[in-house]
């Protein structure tokens, strides 16, 4: 096991620049694993990042720095590769979770839960985004209109790399580009989007009980969802 890196600085602070705000460690720019300066467009976000650095003890624990990990991913992995990140999100939209329903009457209660949670999201997408996705039952693929995925592509093109990273994380965690967009645009809280994404899992738990390993994994993933949500909030 690799030893945790030792804390090498006394203080973390924020400096405003012509391009935004950067995080400083003892007056020197904090850097990502790829050695890029940690610079963001929002002072509240920069201050939150500096707070994560300031909260470290003698050893630096990356697990306790969820915002920093997300920002590092954005700066090192998404910046310059935005088209690829958008394409992955659009791919999820092509088989979006909220478009696949339980087959009533055989799974009537589950189908009701799907409709109750997902129909309003689809209605919102039609009214607010002009995104019209088709719905099917069971596991058979549903071909989505090209116009719908093209519209989602255009919406994503308006996001900076940090916001795009947050949407990408939320999409992969929930299995739904629409749930991520609905949260990003204030239609759903993070808790509501998370609950909507786990209807099937919660249904299985109600029938068969909960597995300890699955519970631990879900808790970890919820932490990632919260970090992505907070990143969007701090971007403003």
Whether 69 is covered by a domain: the verdict is: no
| Boundaries of domain holding 138 | 82-235
Whether 70 is covered by a domain: the verdict is: no
Averaged pLDDT for residues 66-79? 97
Same domain, 103 and 55: no
Whether 5 is covered by a domain: the verdict is: no
pLDDT digits (tens, 9 = 90+) for 147-176: 999 999 999 999 999 999 999 999 999 999
Same domain, 108 and 218: yes
Number of domains comprising the chain: 2
Same domain, 165 and 86: yes
The CA-based angle 55-232-223, given to 5 degrees, is 55
pLDDT digits (tens, 9 = 90+) for 81-139: 999 999 999 999 999 999 999 876 667 889 999 999 999 999 999 999 999 999 998 77
CATH label of the domain that carries residue 19: 3.30.2180.10
Whether 71 is covered by a domain: the verdict is: no
Nearest to 117 by CA among 189, 28, 225, 61: 189
CA distance linking residue 186 with residue 217, whole number of Å: 26
pLDDT digits (tens, 9 = 90+) for 16-48: 998 899 999 999 999 999 999 999 999 999 999
CATH label of the domain that carries residue 230: 1.10.3580.10
Q: What are the CA-CA distances from residue 65 to residues 16, 62, 128, 151 (Å)?
A: 22, 5, 34, 34
Task: Categorize the per-residue pLDDT at 202 as very low, low, confident or very high, splitting at 50, 70 and 90.
Answer: very high
Same domain, 38 and 93: no
Average pLDDT, the chain: 95
């Amino acid at each position: 096991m690799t030893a945790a890196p030792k804390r090498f600085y006394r203080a973390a602070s924020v400096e405003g620049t012509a391009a935004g705000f950067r995080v400083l460690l003892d007056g020197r720019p904090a850097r990502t694993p790829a050695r890029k300066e940690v610079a963001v467009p929002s002072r509240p976000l920069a201050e939150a990042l500096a707070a994560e650095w300031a909260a470290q003890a003698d050893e630096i624990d990356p697990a306790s720095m969820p915002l920093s990990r997300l920002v590092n991913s954005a700066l090192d992995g998404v910046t310059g590769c935005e088209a690829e990140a958008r394409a992955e999100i659009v791919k999820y939209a092509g088989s979006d979770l909220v478009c696949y329903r339980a087959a009533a009457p055989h799974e009537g209660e589950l189908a009701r839960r799907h409709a109750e949670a997902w129909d309003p999201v689809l209605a919102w997408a039609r009214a607010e985004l002009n995104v019209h996705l088709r719905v099917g039952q069971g596991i058979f693929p549903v071909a989505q209109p090209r116009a719908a995925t093209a519209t989602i592509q255009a919406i994503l093109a308006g996001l900076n790399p940090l916001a795009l990273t947050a949407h990408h994380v939320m999409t992969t965690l929930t299995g739904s580009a629409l749930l991520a967009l609905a949260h990003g645009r204030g239609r759903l809280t993070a808790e509501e989007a998370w609950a909507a994404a786990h209807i099937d899992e919660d249904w299985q738990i109600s029938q068969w009980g909960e597995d300890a390993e699955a519970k631990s994994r879900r808790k970890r993933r919820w932490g990632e969802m919260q970090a992505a949500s907070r990143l969007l909030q701090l971007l403003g």
